[in-house]
């Protein structure tokens, strides 16, 4: 039995979505074992896992995470997963799982649909309405429906946290909430999409856009639908979330100017390099609006050293000037850490 399965665990967790992120979280929790997570000494017991096509498990006594990971990686299926919850006309399998899995926290890590934010928004609403805390890595619902979801969380006396939607586990929202009290955030600019940053680097070295995307997919960082990365949608969603949460803006993703890298002429990369510049997909917002655009930065710009899957965010404040966060070469484990940090925040009752 996995060492996290012990009586008296403080928080029960249902994992919805068991792809790169859900599995990375399971690996993190399995590795944590009996080491209490967080200052409050909280431990987490995973009581269920739900997927779209690989089965659904509910184990009130605790899922054996090592076995679940082994089975899904070898067989492509959760171990002993019954067709527990066939979907009905009224409710999907995932909604039934959310309602019936005994859990304090639902981790929403299903596939991103950038344009509709569904079915993830329905999942999150169902969990909040059932009085369960939600931690999500899914940008769609937060970018499109933050205020509605936040109101539901408040009405139901639970939390909705989403640190890993932007810069994986790097503390963006936690830093703003905890460490910039009394400051107003006036704007930001960042390199926030790992896939396009990696692809731009590889193209600069002579690869095609397709080669670059294949590499990103192999590393588990590209969206299931890679057009979301190259058309700039992922970056638009992150820009919207930052503007909404940090700057209290009322922008919708549709109002963020979007320039992706579809059809980017490699000659533009060469020209930038010859002029001592580097091409980056920049996300930015200020008093005049928000935009995602391909920008040529001088080699002396701090963002010019943000290579591959790394990312960076500069936040402009009234009292603290500019603060920059760099995240070096993250992978799914850093996303999982962002989820764990939110779970600890909830467990500590902050």
Ligand X SMILES: NC(=O)c1ccc[n+]([C@@H]2O[C@H](COP(=O)([O-])OP(=O)(O)OC[C@H]3O[C@@H](n4cnc5c(N)ncnc54)[C@H](OP(=O)(O)O)[C@@H]3O)[C@@H](O)[C@H]2O)c1
Active site residues: 238
Helix axes of 332-347 and 20-32: crossing angle, nearest 10 degrees: 60
- Give CA–CA dist 263/69, Å, rounded: 39
Stretch 30-59: interaction string toward ligand X, x if CB under 6 A: --------------------xxxxx-----
- Number of residue whose CB is nearest ligand X: 19
121 in contact with ligand X (CB under 6 A): no
Least distance between ligand X and beta carbon 166 (Å): 8
19 in contact with ligand X (CB under 6 A): yes
Least distance between ligand X and beta carbon 239 (Å): 15
**Closest alpha carbon to 224 in 101, 1, 66, 53:** 53
224 in contact with ligand X (CB under 6 A): yes
* CB closer to ligand X, 100 vs 286: 100
239 in contact with ligand X (CB under 6 A): no
Looking at 3-11, 28-36, 134-142, 287-295, which segment touches ligand X (CB under 6 A)? 134-142
Which one of 71, 138, 196, 244 is in contact with ligand X (CB under 6 A)?
Answer: 138
Residues 94-113 close enough to bind ligand X by CB under 6 A: 94, 109-112
* Sheet of 257-258, strand order: 257-258, 289-298, 277-286, 185-191, 311-317, 322-327
* CB closer to ligand X, 112 vs 198: 112
- Give CA–CA dist 73/197, Å, rounded: 29
* CB closer to ligand X, 217 vs 301: 217
Least distance between ligand X and beta carbon 29 (Å): 15
Instruction: Provide the CB-side half-sphere exposure for 111 (13 A, CA).
Output: 11
21 in contact with ligand X (CB under 6 A): yes
* CB closer to ligand X, 72 vs 278: 72
* CB closer to ligand X, 190 vs 332: 332
Task: Find how far residue 283's CA is from the centre of its chain.
Answer: 16
Looking at 1-9, 20-28, 83-91, 240-248, which segment touches ligand X (CB under 6 A)? 20-28
Residues 6+ apart with CB under 8 A from 326: 306, 310, 311, 312
Which one of 12, 96, 133, 139 is in contact with ligand X (CB under 6 A)?
Answer: 139
Least distance between ligand X and beta carbon 234 (Å): 7
Find where tokens 């960082």 sit. Answer: 221
Least distance between ligand X and beta carbon 72 (Å): 8
Looking at 78-86, 147-155, 219-227, 239-247, which segment touches ligand X (CB under 6 A)? 219-227
220 in contact with ligand X (CB under 6 A): yes
* CB closer to ligand X, 18 vs 188: 18
Which one of 62, 190, 212, 332 is in contact with ligand X (CB under 6 A)?
Answer: 332
335 in contact with ligand X (CB under 6 A): yes
Looking at 35-43, 61-69, 133-141, 310-318, which segment touches ligand X (CB under 6 A)? 133-141
> Which stretches of the chain bind ligand X, using CB under 6 A?
16-22, 50-54, 94, 109-112, 119, 137-139, 164, 168, 220-221, 223-224, 332, 335
């Amino acid at each position: 039995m996995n060492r996290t399965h012990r009586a008296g665990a403080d928080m029960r967790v249902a994992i919805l979505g068991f792809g790169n992120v859900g599995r990375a979280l399971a690996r993190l929790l399995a590795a944590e074992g009996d080491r209490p997570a967080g200052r409050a000494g909280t431990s987490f017991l995973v009581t269920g896992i739900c997927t779209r096509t690989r089965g659904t498990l509910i184990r009130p006594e605790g899922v054996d995470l090592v076995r679940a990971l082994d089975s899904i990686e070898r067989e492509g299926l959760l171990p002993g997963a019954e067709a527990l919850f066939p979907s009905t006309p009224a409710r999907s399998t995932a909604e039934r799982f959310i309602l019936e899995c005994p859990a304090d926290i639902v981790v929403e890590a299903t596939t991103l649909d950038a344009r509709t934010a569904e079915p993830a928004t329905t999942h999150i609403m169902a969990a909040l309405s059932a009085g369960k805390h939600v931690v999500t890595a899914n940008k769609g619902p937060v970018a499109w429906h933050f205020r509605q979801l936040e109101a539901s969380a408040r009405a139901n006396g639970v939390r909705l946290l989403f640190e890993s939607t932007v810069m994986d586990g790097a503390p963006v929202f936690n830093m703003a909430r905890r460490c910039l009290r009394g400051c107003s955030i006036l704007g930001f600019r960042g390199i926030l999409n790992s896939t396009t940053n990696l692809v731009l680097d590889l193209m600069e070295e002579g690869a095609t856009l397709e080669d670059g995307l294949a590499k990103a997919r192999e590393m588990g960082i590209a969206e299931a639908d890679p057009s979301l990365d190259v058309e700039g949608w992922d970056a638009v969603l992150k820009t919207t979330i930052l503007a909404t949460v940090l700057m209290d803006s009322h922008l919708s993703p549709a109002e963020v100017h979007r320039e992706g890298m579809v059809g980017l002429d490699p000659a533009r990369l060469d020209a930038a390099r010859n002029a001592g510049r580097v091409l980056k997909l920049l996300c930015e917002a200020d008093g005049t609006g928000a935009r995602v655009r391909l920008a040529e930065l001088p080699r002396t710009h701090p963002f010019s050293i943000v290579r591959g899957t790394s990312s960076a965010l500069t936040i402009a404040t009234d009292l603290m000037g500019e603060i920059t966060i760099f995240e070096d070469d993250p992978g799914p484990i850093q996303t999982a850490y962002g989820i764990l940090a939110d779970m600890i925040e909830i467990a500590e009752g902050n």
